[in-house]
Structure 1
């Protein structure tokens, strides 16, 4: 079975904006997540991986928090994108290539991955340059 376009859109709004789906799901937890964390990876963490699986480790690297609301994410149909460019901390050392990115729930450690995908083009990490995931990057709910 497949989801309807309307329900795909509802799912993305629930996950990325915290918008309830009437009579199905809500955001009424006692302390719902208010941010997600974008991470860079040198290889696919795969469906069984976590946020630290193959995670970049250049000097200065840290995951970037993105607000879980209408200011952090733009949703159109069944596609979601960061509302702005996502700039990672300046690389104090280079030599890595980020081939994948994940959106997860933890600022560090082995957090749960909600979405993962290949970066096209890959992000080359060079000393003195902050890696960037551009605003037009998309995730499609299928």
Structure 2
């Protein structure tokens, strides 16, 4: 079963831009999260996984927070993309290298077992093999509702 196109866009705007869906849903009013956290993974975290499942662990790695607004995410119809490239920290030494990030996830926590809201394969994958490489999820990375 599929969602209607208008609702797909409304749902993405609610999650990524904190935009109310008229007469249906509002962004949390008491203490809404203001950022979503992007994580890199060496394998698909799976449907039952959390943000720690197969998460990269090179020295200096940390999830990147992206604001829940149009400055952080661009919603166009039934798809969403980062409004700017998402750059992760460069490895500060060779510990736990090389790693290949094959997947990314968007979740609710800066660290620990955050809830995965969306996940997907990276194309091309990101080979993290030396301290001069900036792991990056580009604006061309798209999540599509359908």
User: Under a length normalisation based on structure 1, what TM-score does the superposition of the two structures give?
Assistant: 0.97
The one of 105, 109, 119 aligned to 1:106: 109
Unaligned runs of 5+ in 1: none
> 2:126 aligned with 1:123, yes or no?
yes
Q: How far is 1:120 from its partner?
A: 0.8
Measured after TM superposition, the shift of residue 105 of structure 1 is 0.4
2:93 is equivalent to residue 95 of structure 1: no
In 2, distance between residues paired with 1:138 and 1:6?
A: 18
SS at match of 2:89: coil
| Root-mean-square deviation over aligned CA pairs | 0.9
Unaligned runs of 5+ in 2: none
Instruction: Report the CA distance between 1:85 and its aligned residue.
Output: 0.6
Which contiguous aligned blocks of 4+ residues in structure 1 show a shift greater than 2 angstroms? none
* TM-score relative to the length of structure 2: 0.94
Cα offsets for 1:32-67 (capped at 9, x unmatched): 010000000001110000000000001110000000
Q: Distance in 2 between matches of 1:114 and 1:2?
A: 18
Do 1:91 and 1:131's aligned partners in 2 also have CA atoms closer than 8 Å? no
